[in-house]
């Protein structure tokens, strides 16, 4: 599935809740609960995303030309947000990740319903994931 197709799928999921942000937050929490955990030994200081209020660990690896992400957070909403980002970007080429527009974030109204610190954390997550993908792209 392409990045755009996954974004569309997420947009449709969140549309089911209409304007009910309590339901959307519950969905985010559920997504966080379903996030495959990052291995404990990968929860190191150098994998913490800078700019997040909560602790968010991100690990990326390149396998057969595709980037795979694993992540974890100590906050339930933030864990749901990083789960969304892993779902959208994991399993794609570095070039696809770097070029991703990620319009679904605005389409589902996520940024406008996050506190300023969480919104900054989301921007930091995206930036780190794209930087990791760019590093893999440059190594190739």
Active-site residue list: 52
Q: Give 41's contacts (C-beta < 8 A, 6+ positions apart).
A: none
Q: What's the chain's length in residues?
A: 140
Q: Please give the structure tokens belonging to residue 42.
A: 């990968």
Helices (H) and strands (E) in the chain, counts: 6, 2
Give the H/E segment covering residue 9.
Answer: helix 3-15
Within 10 angstroms of residue 14's Cβ, the number of other Cβ atoms is: 20
Cβ pair 65, 98 in contact under 8 A: no
């Amino acid at each position: 599935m392409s990045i755009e197709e996954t974004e569309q799928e997420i947009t449709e999921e969140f549309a089911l809740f209409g304007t009910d942000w309590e339901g959307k937050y519950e969905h985010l929490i559920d997504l966080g609960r379903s996030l495959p955990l990052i291995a404990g030994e990968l929860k190191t200081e150098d994998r913490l995303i800078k700019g997040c209020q909560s602790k968010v660990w991100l690990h990326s690896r390149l396998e057969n030309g595709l980037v795979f992400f694993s992540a974890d957070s100590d906050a339930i909403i933030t864990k749901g947000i990083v789960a969304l980002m892993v779902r959208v970007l994991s399993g794609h080429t570095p070039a696809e990740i770097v070029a991703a527009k990620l319009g679904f974030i605005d389409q589902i109204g996520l940024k406008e319903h996050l506190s300023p610190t969480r919104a900054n954390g989301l921007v930091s997550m995206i930036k780190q994931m794209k930087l990791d993908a760019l590093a893999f792209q440059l190594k190739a």
